[in-house]
C-alpha cells in the first residue's frame, strides 16, 4: 500500500513538472503597434534623413512623364519604366531613369538641384547634359522635405490596417495596408501618379521603424487595351549614407581639376561632357 502511494505521489509530481514546463514554454504574445503611429514615425524618418537611396519600378498600364498639357495636345512620348537614384538633403536628387521614348526603351540621367534640372540621353540630348526640366516631380525639396512630400503622402493614407509581421527577404517587417487618392500620394512616385484612387501596401522594418518598400496599385487604370493595372514598387533604403550630388557643371570642373565626384550611384557622373542650356 505504501509503495502504491509513493508511486502515485511520484506520478503526480511528474505531471506537475511537465505542466509547468509547458506553461513556461508558451511565449507571451506582444500586441502589434498602432499602424497609424508606425506610419507617422516612418514618415518623419524619411523627412529627417540626410540622404536616402530610392528605387521605383512601374508595371502594368503606362504612366507618362510628359502628359499633354491640353486635351489632344502633344505629349505621352516618354513612358516611365523605372528609376534608381538618391536624395541628398535638403534639395538634391539624382537618378538613372529607364523610359520608353516613342516606344523605344532608353535611359535618361537626371539631376535636380532646387528648381534646376539637367538631363542626358543618347538620343534626346546626343549624350550631353542639358539644363531642361525632365519632370516637375523631380524636385527634391517637394519630394522629401516639404509638407507635400513623402511624409505627407504616408500620412494621407486612409482606412489604414495592420496586416501583421512578415519576413521579407530575411528581415522582419510590419505590413500595413491603406487607400488614398493619387494626388495625395503623388510624391511617392515623383509626381507621376495622377488622380486615380490607389491601394497601398507599406512595409516598415521592425527594428528601425523605417519604411522599406511600398506597393501602389491603381485599379481604375485597367482597360481593354491595358488589362493589368498600373502598379508602382517603391524601395527606400540606405538612410543617412554618404551621398554627394553635384550639377554637371560642378562635376566637370572637379574632373578637370583632378577631383572627380562620385554621385549616389557610385559611378562617375560623366559630366566632363559639356553641359549646355536647353534652347
C-alpha distances (whole Å) from 200 to each of 2, 148, 157, 204 are: 71, 18, 8, 13
Q: What phi and psi, each to the nearest 5 degrees, are found at residue 29?
A: -75, 130
Mean per-residue pLDDT, 115-143 = 87
Residue pLDDT, tens place only, 228-268: 999 999 999 999 999 999 999 887 776 666 554 444 444 43
Residue 47 lies in a domain: yes
Range name among 42-56, 119-133, 144-158, 210-224 with the lowest pLDDT average: 144-158
Residue 250 lies in a domain: no
Residue 152 lies in a domain: yes
Residue pLDDT, tens place only, 167-188: 999 999 999 999 999 888 888 8
Residue pLDDT, tens place only, 71-84: 777 777 888 999 99
Number of domains making up the chain: 1
Residue pLDDT, tens place only, 4-23: 545 555 555 544 544 555 55
Residue 261 lies in a domain: no
Which residues lie below 8 Å from residue 205, measured CB to CB, with a gap of 6+? 171, 172, 173, 211, 212
Mean per-residue pLDDT, 113-122 = 92
- Which range among 101-110, 135-144, 190-199, 238-247 has the greatest average pLDDT? 238-247
Residue 260 lies in a domain: no
How far is it, in rounded angstroms, from Cα 198 to Cα 138?
21
Residue 98, pLDDT above cutoff 80: yes
Tell which wins on pLDDT, 87 or 264: 87
Which CATH number characterizes residue 57's domain?
2.50.20.20
Q: Residue 262: its pLDDT value, please?
A: 46
Residue 12 lies in a domain: no
HSE-up of 35 (CA within 13 Å, CB side)?
A: 19
Grid coordinates of 42: 516612418
Q: Residue 59: its pLDDT value, please?
A: 96
Residue 135 lies in a domain: yes
HSE-up of 10 (CA within 13 Å, CB side)?
A: 6
Domain residue limits at 132: 35-237
Residue pLDDT, tens place only, 198-224: 999 999 999 999 999 999 999 999 999
Which residues lie below 8 Å from residue 129, measured CB to CB, with a gap of 6+? 109, 111, 118, 119, 120, 248, 271, 273, 274, 275, 276
CA 205 to chain CA centroid, Å, is: 13
Q: Residue 6: its pLDDT value, please?
A: 54
Q: What phi and psi, each to the nearest 5 degrees, are found at residue 19?
A: -65, -40
Strand 276-277 relative to strand 130-131, pairing: parallel
Inter-residue contact 82 to 253 (CB < 8 Å): no
Mean pLDDT, the chain, as a whole number? 82
pTM, two decimal places: 0.78
Residue 264 lies in a domain: no
Inter-residue contact 111 to 94 (CB < 8 Å): yes
Inter-residue contact 92 to 140 (CB < 8 Å): yes
Inter-residue contact 130 to 276 (CB < 8 Å): yes
Q: Residue 270: its pLDDT value, please?
A: 41
The percent of residues above 90 in pLDDT, for the chain, comes to 51
Amino acid at each position: 500500500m505504501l509503495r502504491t502511494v509513493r508511486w502515485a505521489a511520484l506520478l503526480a509530481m511528474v505531471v506537475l513538472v511537465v505542466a509547468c514546463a509547458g506553461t513556461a514554454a508558451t511565449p507571451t504574445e506582444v500586441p502589434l503597434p498602432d499602424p497609424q503611429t508606425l506610419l507617422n514615425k516612418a514618415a518623419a524618418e524619411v523627412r529627417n534623413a540626410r540622404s536616402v537611396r530610392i528605387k521605383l519600378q512601374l508595371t502594368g498600364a503606362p504612366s507618362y512623364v510628359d502628359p499633354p498639357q491640353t486635351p489632344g495636345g502633344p505629349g505621352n512620348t516618354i513612358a516611365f519604366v523605372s528609376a534608381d537614384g538618391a536624395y541628398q538633403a535638403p534639395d538634391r536628387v539624382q537618378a538613372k531613369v529607364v523610359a520608353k521614348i516613342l516606344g523605344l526603351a532608353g535611359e535618361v540621367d537626371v539631376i535636380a538641384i532646387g528648381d534646376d534640372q539637367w538631363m542626358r540621353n543618347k538620343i534626346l540630348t546626343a549624350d550631353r547634359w542639358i539644363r531642361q526640366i525632365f519632370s516637375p516631380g523631380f524636385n527634391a525639396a517637394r519630394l522629401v522635405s516639404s509638407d507635400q512630400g513623402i511624409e505627407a503622402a504616408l500620412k494621407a493614407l486612409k482606412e489604414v490596417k495592420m496586416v501583421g509581421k512578415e519576413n521579407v527577404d530575411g528581415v522582419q517587417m510590419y505590413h500595413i495596408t491603406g487607400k488614398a487618392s493619387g494626388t495625395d500620394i503623388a510624391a511617392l512616385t515623383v509626381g507621376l501618379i495622377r488622380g486615380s484612387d490607389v491601394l497601398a501596401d507599406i512595409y516598415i522594418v521592425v527594428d528601425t521603424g523605417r519604411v522599406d518598400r511600398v506597393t501602389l496599385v491603381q485599379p481604375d487604370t485597367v482597360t481593354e487595351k491595358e488589362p493589368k493595372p498600373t502598379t508602382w514598387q517603391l524601395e527606400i533604403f540606405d538612410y543617412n549614407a554618404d551621398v554627394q550630388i553635384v550639377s554637371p557643371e560642378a562635376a566637370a570642373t572637379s574632373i578637370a581639376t583632378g577631383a572627380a565626384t562620385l554621385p549616389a550611384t557610385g559611378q562617375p557622373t560623366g559630366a566632363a561632357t559639356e553641359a549646355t542650356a536647353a534652347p
